[in-house]
Each structure stands twice: as structure tokens, then as C-alpha cells.
Copies of this chain bind each other. A is one copy, B any other.
């Protein structure tokens, strides 16, 4: 394969995760160490940084700070939710990207994100090819939702799953302290896929955690839900439930949105989330004391409780992208192929960029129990290896010491 010398750009896009910076580290460290890559630029806020000529010179960063990226949540380079137009309709952005690529002799483009980011990669690559500008383009996947097609799982998911499971172990302890009744409802991210909500069931391995888990892959039935809760509550005086934010009725209406129709028109009902709505409903119907808990942003940024396996694999994904590109590969997304029989093994493979297009990988129905209120052992066997290992977090004054980048602009 012919050698291609030139600069590279790494960009981050979409919602944050606990390990997206670990992937960026994998790209940056590997690229800085590679003789064919003449400069390593971090795009400020993803593709917008390219369009705005806002590129950080990563060679100016302290090596030690780059190491800390592995345990720094959220996107250190900044993220965006910018969708490129169809180049046949409007090629303004593409012309600008090419201009910037030429200005800095960018021959490698690494983009770290979800569905939309792979679409961006694909469009940029096709345009460069059409214009006869040689640039190798690689996608590095990330999403806490774990809904990307073409990969066993996705970096970012496992750390979120572990944060959720750890929190459910602890919440269970708290919710079982009195000898009076208590129902606890924990709301978990994942609008269309139940991978995260299902991971709450990992807490069951510790004899704690939710009695029931409701995923968005199946229709939600409020009466059935209330009967489920009541059955356990009547027996034990306690019930803990985990719900995906995306649970919906048979007609497709989100349970969280159905609420809005019952408001007074002043928007008050917007104040509460799904957990609060379900808590209120359970309280009304059973008289139980109820607590609704929304895990909120912390499930995707709680790196202090992250998975070492997730960090290691996120770094591997970034490293693989660079090594493959330098060796001549382009237009691929790094993915994982895993075996679990006889011990967990994970291998980085390369998939076509469009493999993720228009497909949301959901929890298989056969991994959801017959009652539609829990996950099966197959689900647990799938997730458990991914959350293994504690990260060697660096603390300063006993608080997590995250990377502090200088972010030296090439074009200040």
C-alpha cells in the first residue's frame, strides 16, 4: 500500500460519554507517534471546527495531560450536532472543508461519534474522492445508547451501564432502610433502545437492584406496570423499578409525553420527568410512599465509576483507526467483534461506514422476559464482561483530576 504523508484531524461529535476522550487519546497518541502523520489537529467542536478553521495543535499538549484524557468524561475538544447538507444540493460546507484540508495538508480525518458522525465521514470522504483529493477517512464509534449497528457493542455504553448498575446497588440499600413501605422508580437514558435500562438489572447480581425493568423495545401497559409493582409491594413493602425514558404505549406515544396532554396548559407538567410521573401514578393507585429518581447527565459523564474494559476498548478503537488509515484503509468504521464463551475476548474490526445508517440496534426481543418486565440471563451475559475493571483515576485534593488541555489554535 502506498504511503500517504500528511496531517490528520480528529473531531468529536454528538452527546458526551465517559470514554469519548479515551478514543480521542487513542487517535491522538497513535497519530503523534506515527512518522507518516506530520501534524495532529483537534477540531474545536467537531466538523464546525473544521469549517471555522479552529484547529488545536495537539503536539503542543503535555504528554501527561493527554494520558489523563483516558479518564476525562465528555468531549475535551468540544462537540457539535451539525449535520452536513447533501452535497448535490448544497456543497458550500464541503468546499470549505476541502479548502481547510488543503491549507493544512490534511490527509487523515478521524471522526468520533454516532450515527450522524459516520454519515458525516461518508459524505466528506465521497466528496474528497470526487474532487480527486486523497484523504483517508475513518469513523470511531461512540454512544452510551449502544444502538450502533455492525459492532458487538459501542464504546461509552459500558461505563454508563456500570454507573447505572452501581447506582442501583446503592439506591436499593437506601430504599430498603425503613420498615415502612417504599417504591423507588429510577429513570434511565435510552429513548429507543433499552440497553442502558436493562443494565440496571446487573445490580440483581449483588442481591439488590430493581424488581422490574421496562424497556422501550416492547409496549408499556400502565395497568400491567401498576399490577407488577403492587404484587411485590404487597408482599415485601418495597419495590424498586428501572424504566427507560423511552417507554411508550402500544400506539407509540411516549409515556413521558402522554403526561403533557394532561397538563393545565401552563406547562407545569413539563417540570417533572418520567420518573416523577410514574411515582405520582403509583402513589395515587397504591398509596405507597414513592421516590422517583432521574439519573440524568451523570450516567453518561460519571467517569469516576467507569469501566476499565470500556476505556481500554475506546483507546483501542482510536488506535486501530489511525493504524488502519496509515496502512491504506479508508471509509471504514472501527467496530468490535467479541466472543464470550470461554472468557471474554474483544477484537477491533473494520466495517463499512454506512453499516450504521438508518439502523438502530435494539435489545433482541428474546433477551426480554415473557412478562416484558425484565431481561434474561443472555442479556446479563452480554453486558457483564463489558463493565469489568476499575480505572486508575488520578485524584487531586481527592477529586477527579481531568485533562487540562492548552488548546493552542493553529490559526489564533
Interface residues of A (CB under 8 A from B): 16, 44-45, 48, 72-75, 78-81, 162, 165-167, 169-171, 173-179, 184, 202-203, 205-208, 259, 262-264, 266-273, 276-277, 280, 291, 293-294, 296-298, 300-305, 307, 384, 387-390, 395-402, 404
Shortest Cβ gap from A199 to chain B (Å):
11
Lowest 9 CB-CB distances: which A-B pairs, in order?
A: A271-B272, A264-B264, A74-B173, A174-B301, A272-B272, A271-B276, A170-B301, A79-B177, A268-B269
Q: Are B171 and A399 in contact (CB under 8 A)?
A: no
Q: Are A297 and B175 in contact (CB under 8 A)?
A: yes
Contact of A177 among B74, B175, B305, B399 (CB under 8 A): B74
Which B residues are in CB contact (< 8 Å) with A263?
Answer: 264, 268
A77 to B166, CA, bound (A): 21
Which B residues are in CB contact (< 8 Å) with A74?
Answer: 170, 173-174, 176-177
Contact of A401 among B44, B162, B206, B389 (CB under 8 A): B206
Shortest Cβ gap from A16 to chain B (Å):
5
Q: Are A177 and B78 in contact (CB under 8 A)?
A: yes
Q: Are B271 and A174 in contact (CB under 8 A)?
A: no
A388 to B73, CA, bound (A): 22
A396 with B206: in contact, given A45-B178, A74-B174, A271-B277 (CB under 8 Å)? yes
Contact of A173 among B16, B170, B179 (CB under 8 A): B16
A206 to B80, CA, bound (A): 24
Q: Pick 7 A–B contacts, CB within 8 A, sort by A.
A: A16-B177, A78-B179, A79-B178, A80-B178, A171-B301, A263-B264, A388-B398
A276 to B166, CA, bound (A): 25
Q: Are B276 and A272 in contact (CB under 8 A)?
A: yes
Which B residues are in CB contact (< 8 Å) with A170?
Answer: 73-74, 298, 301-304, 400
Which B residues are in CB contact (< 8 Å) with A389?
Answer: 398
Q: Are B271 and A280 in contact (CB under 8 A)?
A: yes
Q: Are B396 and A177 in contact (CB under 8 A)?
A: no
Shortest Cβ gap from A22 to chain B (Å):
14
Closest to A48 in B: B179
Shortest Cβ gap from A253 to chain B (Å):
18
Shortest Cβ gap from A349 to chain B (Å):
25
Which B residues are in CB contact (< 8 Å) with A268?
Answer: 262-264, 268-269, 271-272
A80 with B266: in contact, given A170-B304, A300-B174, A398-B307 (CB under 8 Å)? no
Shortest Cβ gap from A206 to chain B (Å):
5
Contact of A167 among B44, B79, B298, B388 (CB under 8 A): B298
Q: Are B173 and A301 in contact (CB under 8 A)?
A: yes
Shortest Cβ gap from A54 to chain B (Å):
9
Extra 20 A-B pairs, beta carbons < 8 Å, given A171-B298, A272-B273, A390-B398: A16-B177, A44-B179, A73-B173, A74-B173, A74-B177, A78-B179, A81-B178, A166-B400, A169-B399, A171-B297, A171-B301, A203-B399, A206-B401, A208-B402, A262-B266, A267-B280, A271-B280, A273-B276, A293-B296, A389-B398
